[in-house]
Chains A and B, each alone.
Chain A
Amino acid sequence: MSAPEPVHPLAGVARGRHGAAGDAPLRVSFPARDIVQVMVRRGQDAALAAAMRTAFGIDAPGPGHTASGSGVTAIWIQPGQWLLTAPRTTEGALAVRAAEAFSTCAAVADQSHGRTTIAVSGASAREALSRGCRIDLHPRAFGPGRAASTPIAQIGCLVHQTDAAPSFELTVFSTLAEPFLHWLLEAGAPFGVEIA
C-alpha cells in the first residue's frame, strides 16, 4: 500500500495573484521538503564532516553558509548544527539516511513536518523581505549559498538565498507558517505576489 501523502500546512492558501498588479511580481511557492536537523556529538566534528562528505558529498558549511551535494543541501543553523534539506520523497527517507550516516557522530531529528519552506523569487524579493527582515541581503553582504536565522514578523525564520535572481527559501515552524505567509503577502502586496 502506498503511503498517504501528508497535508501541507499551507494547503488551504489560495493560489494565484495577491496584492498589486504588475509585470514583476514576487513568485511564491511551497516546495515539499524533507528536513533533518543534525546535531554533532561532543568532539565528533571531524567525524561528522567526513560522514557528510561520504554520505552526501557535502563539505559541512560554516556559519552563515550552505553547501549542496547530490540533491541534498546542508544549512548551518547554529554551532555544531545543520539542517539537511532535500525534495520530499517517502516519509522519513532523509532522516533514515542521515541517522545511518551519522550514527556515531551526531544526533538526528526529522523536522520534515515541523518546518515549512516558502520559496520567494523576483526582482523585488529583497525589498519585500526588508519590510521585516533585519538581515542585510544586499549582494555585497549576502548571496546565493548564504543563510541566516532571524525573527521576521515575530516568527523565527531561516533565510536561505538559493540564486541571484534573487531567490530565497524561508523556513519557519510549521505551526506559524500561515501567519508568516500573511506577513509575506502584506510585504509583497505593493509588488504583487503570485502563489504557484
Chain B
Amino acid sequence: MSQRFRLPSGGHVDRSKRLSFTFDGRAYDGHHGDTLAAALLANGVRLVGRSFKYHRPRGIFSAGAEEPNALVELRDGARREPNTRATVAELFDGLAATSQNHRGSLAFDWMAVNGLLAPWLGAGFYYKTFMWPASFWERVYEPMIRKAAGLGRASGLPDPDHYEAAHAHCDVLVVGAGAAGLAAARAAGATGARVILAEQDFLLGGDLLNEPGLEVWRQESIAALEAMPEVTLLPRTTVFGFYDQGVLGAVERVADHLPQPPAHTARQRYWTIRAKEVVLATGAHERIIAFPGNDRPGVMLAGAARTYARRYGVRAGETAALFATQDAAYDAAFALAEAGTRIAAIIDPRGDSAAMQRAREAGFTVKPGCVVTGTVGGNALRGVEIGAVGSGGRGDAVPADVLMVSGGWNPAVHLASMSGSALSWDEALLAFVPGAASQHERSAGACRGVNGIGAAAADGAAAGQAAAVAAGFAAAPAITLPEAPAPDHRPYELWEVKGRGKAFVDIQDDVTANDIRLAHREGYSHIEHAKRYTTHAMGTDQGKVGGLVGAAVLAEAREEPVAKVGLPRFRPYTSPVAWGAIAGGEVGQHFQPVRRTALHGVHEALGAVWMDAGIWKRPAYYPKAGDADAWASVKREARAVRERVGVCDVSTLGKIVVEGPDAATFLDRVYANTFSTLQVGRARYGLMLREDGIVFDDGTTTRLGHDRFFVTTTTAQAGPVMQHLEFHLASAWPDLDVSLASVTDQWAAMSIAGPKAREVVAAVVTGLDVSNEAFPFMAVADCLATGVPARLFRISFSGELAYEIAMPAGYAAQVWRAVLAAGAPHGIEPYGVEALGLLRIEKGHVAGSELNGQTTAQDLGLGRMLKKKGDFIGRVLAQRPGMTDPSRPRLVGLRSVDPARQIRAGCHLIVDGRSQGWISSATQSVVDPGWIGLGLLRDGETHIGSVIVAANPLMGEEVPVKVVSPHGYDAENLRVRA
C-alpha cells in the first residue's frame, strides 16, 4: 500500500523497516518509529472514530497522550484492548486496529441520528428524561444508553498476559524527557545522585524530536545518561500519580509495542517510585478553541500537525489553514510548508506580530483580526469559514483539508497539583502554573510556563542540580545546553468563537460550550459541579486539550475571571492505566497467598476435599468410596469420633507464648476470667472481650511454668488477638514485664478424640502416664511422640475423651502416620472441619458463627465466666444496659421436629409470627439423627421445650423446630472426663 502522505526523508522513522497493519480490516503499511496515528495519516486515513454521544465523525486530533478522539481497539481475541489512543500506540508488524463506537460502518454510522436529536440531548438529558418509571432505569434506560454511548469493547476473555509490580528508589526522579527533563537528569546525574528518568514516549526528547538542528544535543544527552551507572532510563513509562511523601506511581509498557510479550516478560510493569526529590518536566498541552465544527476530521492541534511533519515525516493534509492566537504556533505552518503542504490561510485574531510578518514574508496568506467561524465538510474537512473577530455569523470559506488550531498552551500541572502544590494563574500565558511546592518537588520547563527549548533546558538543568543538592549531593560542573530561540507563547485571549453549530470544549465527551452555559443556568456553577453535570473533562484525556476552555466559558457565564473559576481537582490517573497493570501479579491463584499446615501433603494424599478458612486450606472432609454424598462422609467421620476415635489437624489455631514475671497479671487483664490461679501443667478455657464488652475470642490457655503461658486462639482471630495483645502491652501497660511470641507456625497440632483416644495416645506417646488419674481432663505435659519432643493437652472440643498433641511442625507428618497406625485396630478415621463442626454443635460449644462480633458473654451462656474481682478489658462497657438487657437473644439448641426437614444457618426464628432470633449454626446429628442447630433467641430459656418456626423466606421454607438446651449431649461432661 502506498503511503502517499509520507515524506521521502526526515524524522525519526526508519523507512527501511516496513510494517504491515490493518485498520477496520484494510491493510496498510507504516514504518518502524510510527505511532498508529502517524501511519494512518501517512496513508491518508482521516476518519478514525465516532464520538461518544452524538456519533459524530472524528479524526486524529493530537500527536500525544492528550488525544481525545482517536481511540481504537488494538489486537484481536483475548488481547483485544479498547480505548487505546492511536497517537501513542507504537506501530508493530501485524497490528490489527479497529475503530469503535459505531453501528454500521465507520463512514455511515446510523447512530449519528443522535446528532439530529442534539437539541434535546444536551447535558443532563438522561437524568431529566429517563426518570419514569423508576424501575426502568436499571432494566431499560441504562443498558440502552450504555449501548448507544460509550467507547470500545473489552475482550470479555481472561487476559493471557501477565503484569508485574516493581518498586524503585532514587534521589531524583525526573518525569518527562524533553529538553527540560533531559537536562535535569544530566545535571542531577552528574552529581552522582541516583536518578530515574521516566518518559511516556518510546523515544526520549519530547519537542527535540521536532528539531533536526538539535538532534546532536539530544543524542549526546542520551549517551551521557546511559553512561552514568546510577541513572535509570525508563522510556514507555507514564508517571500517573503523585502521592504523599514522595511516592509516585508509574506504568511501564514493557511489551505493548510487540505483538505479544516474549516468554517470561510482563506486558506492563506497575512502578511504585519513592523519590527524595522530584523534577517535573512534563511539558505543556496545546489547547483547543471552541468554534462551530471544531471537531471535524481534519481539525487538529497545530503542534500535532508539526510533529507529524517533523518527527514522522507525514503531511497531515494537502492544503492547510492555521488558526492561532500566539506566535509559537506559527512554526506548524512553516513545518507543513516545508513538507509540501499548501498553506491556504493563517487566521489570527491579533492585529500583527513578528510571526505574522514572517509568515507574510514566506508568502502565506495571513488574515489578521480574524477567527474561524465554522468548518465545511462531512467525514473530512473540506474548508474553513473565516470571519472578523466579533462579527458573528458565518464567514467566507477557504478550501482546506487540515485546520491547525492553537488556542495557547496549558502547562501539564497535573502531577504538581496532585503533590499538593496550589496552582496559580499566569496572566501572560492565560494558564495555570504550579505554585509553591508542598512536597520535595519542582517543576521545570514548559510545565511551569518556561517555553522554548533553550530556556526549558536551562530551567531543567537548574532544577536537576537543585534537586540533587537538596538530596545531599554536591553540585557538579554545568552541562552544555542547546541554543534555540524562544518563540512567544503569550496568546490573545480567545476561548470561544460563538456561532451556530456545536462548538466543543471537550471533544471526547461531546461537551459543548452551550452545555457549560446550561450547567450554569441550572445551578451547577461550581467548576466541580459543572464537570459532573456535563461530563466535561471526565474522559480518558482528563480535559488536557479543553479543560481550561470549558472553565473559561463557565467563567464568562459567571461573569468572573477564569482564575477564580479554576480547574477541577487533579487526581490520579493522569493517563489511562490498564486494570491488568493495577492488579499486577496478584490475580487468579496469586490473588492471596494460600497458607498450608505442615500436614497439607498428608491430607492431600488422603483425598481431602478442601475448605478455605481465611487464607488457610483445611480439609473439609475425606470422601471414601461408598460414601453416598458429602454428608455421608461427614457423618461417618463424626460417628467414628463418637463411637471409636478420630484424628483432626488443628494446626491452624493461633498459638502465642506469653512469658515474663507479669505474664499472669497480663492474662488476668486481657481475659474476662482468671489465669493467675491456674496451676502449672493445667489448661483453662478463656474468654476475651473487646473494649466494648462484646466477645472477641476464646480458646484454651495453658500454664507451662510460673511465668510462661501458652495461649491458643481461634483460627480466624489469631492475627487480631496477637495485635490486640501487643497493642495493650505497648500502649496500656508498658510497665508489665511480659513478652509475646507467635508460635503458630512452630507447632503443628492434631486432636485425637473418641472413647478409644487414650489407647491411641498411649501407643504414640512416651515418657508420660496418660491414665485418667495421672493425666486428667485439662492436664498438659511435655512428652515424646514417635521419639520427637511433643506436648500433650487433655482438652476436648468434640465432647468426647480427647487429647491434642502438638509437635514442632516438621515432625507432624510422622506423628500423624503413627497415630493412624496406632488407631487402626480401633477403627480410627481422620476427620475434617465439617465433622468438627457437627460434633461441637451437638455438644453445644460456640464457635465463629456465635462469636460473631455482636454477642455478649451472657448471650452465649458464658456470663458466669466474667470475674467479679479485678479489672479486665471489656468489663466496664459490658455493663451497659443494652448489653445486660435480659431479653437479648440467648444461645439455645434447636432440633427440627421432622428429622428429615433441613434447617439452615441464617434462618429467622419465628415466635408468634415475629422474628425473635436466628439460627447461627446447623448440622445433622449423629447421636440422634435429624437436623439440629444452635441459635440466638430472645428470652431463649423460656422457650425451651416449645416448638417454634425456622423460616427461610429466601427459599420459601418454614420448618417447625423444637427449642432445647444447647448442651443436650452429655450435659454432665462425663465423657470428656472418662
Q: In the bound complex, do residue A187 and residue B739 qualify as a contact, i.e. CB atoms below 8 Å apart?
A: no
**Residue among B166, B168, B264 with max Cβ neighbours from chain A (10 Å):** B264
Q: In the bound complex, do residue B808 and residue A112 qualify as a contact, i.e. CB atoms below 8 Å apart?
A: yes
A12–B747 alpha-carbon span in the complex (Å): 20
A37–B651 alpha-carbon span in the complex (Å): 20
Contacting B at CB under 8 A, from A165-184, are 173-176, 178-180, 182-183
Q: In the bound complex, do residue A39 and residue B739 qualify as a contact, i.e. CB atoms below 8 Å apart?
A: yes
- Pick the interface stretch among A53-61, A65-73, A117-125, A128-136: A128-136
Given contacts A112-B808, A131-B165, contact A19 B264 (CB under 8 A): yes
Q: In the bound complex, do residue A134 and residue B788 qualify as a contact, i.e. CB atoms below 8 Å apart?
A: no
Contacting A at CB under 8 A, from B621-673, are 651, 657, 659-661
| A16 adjacent to chain B (CB < 8 Å) | no
For A174, the chain B residues whose CB sits under 8 A away are: 598, 745-746, 809
Q: In the bound complex, do residue A1 and residue B743 qualify as a contact, i.e. CB atoms below 8 Å apart?
A: no
A110–B356 alpha-carbon span in the complex (Å): 83
Given contacts A133-B167, A175-B596, A183-B590, contact A8 B810 (CB under 8 A): yes
Q: In the bound complex, do residue B788 and residue A178 qualify as a contact, i.e. CB atoms below 8 Å apart?
A: no
Contacting A at CB under 8 A, from B838-861, are none
For B742, the chain A residues whose CB sits under 8 A away are: 114
For A111, the chain B residues whose CB sits under 8 A away are: 741, 743, 745-746
Q: In the bound complex, do residue B788 and residue A141 qualify as a contact, i.e. CB atoms below 8 Å apart?
A: no
Shortest A55–chain B CB gap in Å is: 19
Shortest B784–chain A CB gap in Å is: 10
| B53 adjacent to chain A (CB < 8 Å) | no
Closest to A35 in B: B746
For B746, the chain A residues whose CB sits under 8 A away are: 109-114, 174
A173–B787 alpha-carbon span in the complex (Å): 25
A114–B788 alpha-carbon span in the complex (Å): 16
For A144, the chain B residues whose CB sits under 8 A away are: none
A187–B356 alpha-carbon span in the complex (Å): 58
For A43, the chain B residues whose CB sits under 8 A away are: 737
19 pairs, CB–CB < 8 Å, chain A vs chain B: A6-B808, A6-B810, A7-B812, A9-B598, A39-B739, A42-B735, A42-B736, A42-B737, A43-B737, A107-B708, A111-B741, A112-B746, A114-B744, A131-B585, A173-B744, A175-B595, A176-B595, A179-B595, A182-B590
Q: In the bound complex, do residue B272 and residue A134 qualify as a contact, i.e. CB atoms below 8 Å apart?
A: yes
Q: In the bound complex, do residue B657 and residue A109 qualify as a contact, i.e. CB atoms below 8 Å apart?
A: yes
Closest to B736 in A: A42
Using A6-B811, A110-B808, A175-B745 as known contacts, list a sample of 11 further A-B pairs with CB atoms less than 8 Å apart, ordered by residue number in A. Answer: A5-B810, A20-B264, A39-B739, A39-B740, A109-B743, A114-B744, A115-B745, A130-B166, A131-B585, A175-B595, A175-B598
Shortest B451–chain A CB gap in Å is: 36
Shortest B866–chain A CB gap in Å is: 30
Proximity bits, B605-617, A CB within 8 Å = 1, else 0: 0000000000010
Q: In the bound complex, do residue B601 and residue A12 qualify as a contact, i.e. CB atoms below 8 Å apart?
A: yes
A175–B742 alpha-carbon span in the complex (Å): 13
Shortest A85–chain B CB gap in Å is: 14
Contacting B at CB under 8 A, from A55-99, are 80-81, 91-92
Q: In the bound complex, do residue A154 and residue B808 qualify as a contact, i.e. CB atoms below 8 Å apart?
A: no
| B786 adjacent to chain A (CB < 8 Å) | yes
| A41 adjacent to chain B (CB < 8 Å) | yes
| A143 adjacent to chain B (CB < 8 Å) | no
For A37, the chain B residues whose CB sits under 8 A away are: 741
A26–B883 alpha-carbon span in the complex (Å): 59
Residues of B within 8 A of A (CB): 162, 164-169, 194, 263-265, 272, 274, 585-586, 590, 592-598, 601, 616, 651, 657, 659-661, 708, 735-737, 739-747, 786-789, 808-814
| A155 adjacent to chain B (CB < 8 Å) | yes
Q: In the bound complex, do residue B660 and residue A114 qualify as a contact, i.e. CB atoms below 8 Å apart?
A: no
| A196 adjacent to chain B (CB < 8 Å) | no
Shortest A183–chain B CB gap in Å is: 7
Q: In the bound complex, do residue A109 and residue B741 qualify as a contact, i.e. CB atoms below 8 Å apart?
A: yes
A43–B165 alpha-carbon span in the complex (Å): 43
Count of A interface residues, CB-CB < 8 Å: 55
For B657, the chain A residues whose CB sits under 8 A away are: 107, 109
Q: In the bound complex, do residue A41 and residue B737 qualify as a contact, i.e. CB atoms below 8 Å apart?
A: yes
Shortest A89–chain B CB gap in Å is: 14
A92–B590 alpha-carbon span in the complex (Å): 34
A7–B164 alpha-carbon span in the complex (Å): 32
Q: In the bound complex, do residue B743 and residue A114 qualify as a contact, i.e. CB atoms below 8 Å apart?
A: yes
A180–B739 alpha-carbon span in the complex (Å): 28
For A173, the chain B residues whose CB sits under 8 A away are: 744-745
| Shortest 8 CB-CB contacts between residues of A and residues of B | A6-B810, A114-B746, A39-B739, A114-B745, A179-B593, A109-B741, A136-B169, A42-B737
Q: In the bound complex, do residue B166 and residue A131 qualify as a contact, i.e. CB atoms below 8 Å apart?
A: yes
A59–B683 alpha-carbon span in the complex (Å): 39
A109–B590 alpha-carbon span in the complex (Å): 31
For A81, the chain B residues whose CB sits under 8 A away are: 739
A92–B585 alpha-carbon span in the complex (Å): 38
A106–B707 alpha-carbon span in the complex (Å): 12
Closest to A12 in B: B601
| A190 adjacent to chain B (CB < 8 Å) | yes
A115–B660 alpha-carbon span in the complex (Å): 23
For B745, the chain A residues whose CB sits under 8 A away are: 111, 113-115, 173-175
Given contacts A12-B601, A154-B586, contact A190 B264 (CB under 8 A): yes
| A14 adjacent to chain B (CB < 8 Å) | no
Shortest A135–chain B CB gap in Å is: 8
A179–B743 alpha-carbon span in the complex (Å): 20
Shortest A139–chain B CB gap in Å is: 10
Q: In the bound complex, do residue A4 and residue B598 qualify as a contact, i.e. CB atoms below 8 Å apart?
A: no
State which of A6, A12, A107, A190 has its C-beta within 8 Å of the C-beta of B741: A107
For B786, the chain A residues whose CB sits under 8 A away are: 4
State which of A3, A130, A187 has its C-beta within 8 Å of the C-beta of B168: A130
Q: In the bound complex, do residue B593 and residue A113 qualify as a contact, i.e. CB atoms below 8 Å apart?
A: no
For A6, the chain B residues whose CB sits under 8 A away are: 808-811
Shortest A181–chain B CB gap in Å is: 11
Shortest A19–chain B CB gap in Å is: 6
Given contacts A42-B737, A132-B165, contact A4 B594 (CB under 8 A): no
Closest to B734 in A: A42
A182–B592 alpha-carbon span in the complex (Å): 12
A6–B787 alpha-carbon span in the complex (Å): 12
A111–B742 alpha-carbon span in the complex (Å): 9
For B594, the chain A residues whose CB sits under 8 A away are: 178-179
Proximity bits, A125-163, B CB within 8 Å = 1, else 0: 000001111101010110000000000011100000000
A115–B659 alpha-carbon span in the complex (Å): 20
Closest to B192 in A: A140
For B744, the chain A residues whose CB sits under 8 A away are: 114, 173, 175
A3–B743 alpha-carbon span in the complex (Å): 22
A134–B272 alpha-carbon span in the complex (Å): 9
| A195 adjacent to chain B (CB < 8 Å) | no
Contacting B at CB under 8 A, from A1-36, are 1, 3-9, 12, 19-20
Q: In the bound complex, do residue B592 and residue A154 qualify as a contact, i.e. CB atoms below 8 Å apart?
A: yes
Closest to A2 in B: B787
For A110, the chain B residues whose CB sits under 8 A away are: 746, 808
**Residue among A42, A81, A189 with max Cβ neighbours from chain B (10 Å):** A42
A37–B660 alpha-carbon span in the complex (Å): 14
Shortest A36–chain B CB gap in Å is: 10
For A107, the chain B residues whose CB sits under 8 A away are: 657, 659-660, 708, 739, 741
A101–B578 alpha-carbon span in the complex (Å): 56
**Residue among A111, A113, A175 with max Cβ neighbours from chain B (10 Å):** A175
| A186 adjacent to chain B (CB < 8 Å) | yes
A42–B729 alpha-carbon span in the complex (Å): 12
Shortest B266–chain A CB gap in Å is: 8
A12–B605 alpha-carbon span in the complex (Å): 13
State which of B162, B169, B735, B789 has its C-beta within 8 Å of the C-beta of A91: B789
For B660, the chain A residues whose CB sits under 8 A away are: 41-42, 107
